[in-house]
Structure formats: C-alpha cells, structure tokens
Amino acid sequence: MPPTITPMDTTMGATVTDIDLANLDETEWRMVEDAFHEHAMLLFPQQNLTDEAQINFALRFGEMELLRGDPEAKAVNISNQKADGSVMQPGEHGYNTLRGNEGWHTDSSYMPLAAKASVLSAQVVPSSGGETAVADMRDAYDKLDQEMKDRIADLSAYHSLYQSQAKIGVTVKTGAGYGFHTKGAPLRPLVYTHPVTGRKSLFIGRHAYRIPGMDDAEAKELLDGLLEFACQPPRTYYHAWRPGDVMMWDNRCTLHAARPYDYSEPRVMRHTRIAGEPANDLVATARDEAASGFEPSSSNL
C-alpha cells in the first residue's frame, strides 16, 4: 500500500500514514520529498523511530547541521529533563533555552548558515500542554497587501539569539561556540524565495531584530506587526504530541514554537536538524554594536 498523504485543514502541513520512515523504498521517499516541498510541514504519527533511523531519515534531505558544534551530536534532546532525571529549574540555562523556544522562530536563523529543515520526535510528553505550533510563512507573504510587499521587498533584518533571549529577559552567557556571533549577526532578507518551489515567504521570527537603514523602534514595530499577522489561522497548526510521533518542517518557509506546559513534568523531544544549502541559506554577517558584547553559549537550540 502506498503512503497516504492527507493535507491538513490549514494552508500548510500534511499527515502521512501507511509509511515506515525507518524502511522507505525509493518511490515512498520521492513521495515524502515531494510532499515536504508542497506542504512545508509533515506529520508522521506513531513512528517510534530509533535515533539511528531518525538521523538516517533526516540525512535524506541533506547534510546534518552540527548541533551545539559537536560532530557527534546528530540528534539532541529538546527537553526539560536532565541526565539525572530531575527537571530543569527556572533560571538554568537549559530552562531559558526552552522558554525561548516558546516564541515563534525558525531554527538557526541566527547562524550564518540557516537550517533547511528539522525533524522532531516525541519521547516523553507532559499530561497537558507542550504542543508544537507551526505557521506557514508562504501564505503569510501571499496575504500581505501590495503596499506591505513593496515596503519589505528590499529589506533585511539581523538575526541574533542574544537579542531574542534578551526579549524574554535572559542574557546568554555560558560556554563557547554554537550561536555566538564571532563574526557578527547574520543579515537576512525579509522575503525568502524557496529554491525548489520558487514560492516567496516571509522570513522573520523572534531572532530578527534590526533593519539596516531603519530606526530601531520602527523596525521593531514592523517586525512585531508582521509576526503577529503571520502566525494566525488559517496558517497555523498545533500538534498535541503522542510519544512516537514525528514531525518535520521546512525552516525556510515556516515558523514554529513550543507551547507552554507544567515544567515540573518531564517533556523529552528528540531533534535532528538539516543544514541549509550555502547557495541559498548562507548570508553575510556584520558586526553591529547590539550583537556584540555578549559571551558565547554552548547549547542554544
């Protein structure tokens, strides 16, 4: 039986069933790849992948991004549970990173090479909350009025983890490496053209913070307004996880956010991230005073 691809009741996303991601034949893989480009987000319920299978599935889409700068870290936990089984407490670095994930974002936009896609699987889920929300930035762009399309056509924004964490009152300052703008913050156009589909999308999110040539207050108002407009129905999908579910999204044309939950309960997600393609997703970085003066961080996802 071929896989069944059922589009969601939103402008993006499809649920794929009758499929075993750990054992794809060529025809099935082509269907998945096409569906990924068409729908921008795919949900594969009840796959129960091993780490190896999740990594191998992700590798079909491209090279892995070296998470946390560690060549061995092809899959990492997005979790409030620590190695000893206890849960993270407010104020801990990992806790702050998770709270940051509750803001709409796209992965690695603050790195010079932004991510292509992410694959997330649920291992342990809390009794309520902790959904993952995804929003379609292709439809968001399409629905802007012409005046706004013209206004943003040639604008770019800096993306910085320090700035996005600062917005929630957190100063990033531990460790070394991943996420640190050693060469300044990446400057990314507000409109992204997808290399496969040619569709335009809004490229924004919590890490975007400053627009060259524009007053900072005006830039903030513009970026906040776009984000507010973009992450609304019918462009949004909220997934209530069951352990074993797998979701993947195209970081180039969607935003995602974790939904809050009771942090006294463990939530364990497994994350694999596919690197962007240098021809499309590598941008220049520039030093600007707002992005400097921070210390590096070791584990910012």
| DSSP-assigned beta bridge partners for residue 133 | 238, 257
CA dist 47 to 16, 23, 123, 143, Å?
Answer: 11, 11, 11, 35
Can you tell me which of 172, 227, 258, 274 binds ligand OGA, judged by CB under 6 A?
A: 258
- Residue 251 interacts with which of Mn ion, ligand OGA, none, CB < 5 to 8 Å by class: none
Residue 107 Cβ, how far from Mn ion at the closest point, in Å?
A: 5
Rounded to whole angstroms, the maximal C-alpha distance in the chain is 57
Residue placing its CB nearer to ligand OGA in the complex, 43 or 301: 301
Residue 83 Cβ, how far from ligand OGA at the closest point, in Å?
A: 18
Is 134 an interacting residue with respect to ligand OGA (CB under 6 A)? no
Can you tell me which of 14, 49, 73, 120 binds ligand OGA, judged by CB under 6 A?
A: 120
Residues 259-278 touching ligand OGA, rule: CB under 6 A, are: 269, 271
Distance CA 136, CA 141 (A): 9
Residue placing its CB nearer to ligand OGA in the complex, 201 or 251: 251
The contact pattern for ligand OGA, residues 63-92, with x = CB under 6 A and - = no contact, is ---------------x--------------
- Residue 187 interacts with which of Mn ion, ligand OGA, none, CB < 5 to 8 Å by class: none
Residue placing its CB nearer to Mn ion in the complex, 107 or 139: 107
- Residue 65 interacts with which of Mn ion, ligand OGA, none, CB < 5 to 8 Å by class: none
Distance CA 65, CA 273 (A): 6
CA dist 180 to 92, 170, 238, 264, 292, Å?
Answer: 19, 15, 31, 30, 9
**Which residues here bind Mn ion, judged by CB under 5 A?**
107
φ, ψ for residue 280, nearest 5 deg = -110, -30
Is 300 an interacting residue with respect to ligand OGA (CB under 6 A)? no
Is 250 an interacting residue with respect to ligand OGA (CB under 6 A)? no
Residue 206 Cβ, how far from ligand OGA at the closest point, in Å?
A: 11
Which positions lie near ligand OGA, rule CB under 6 A?
78, 101, 107, 118, 120, 132, 256, 258, 269, 271, 301
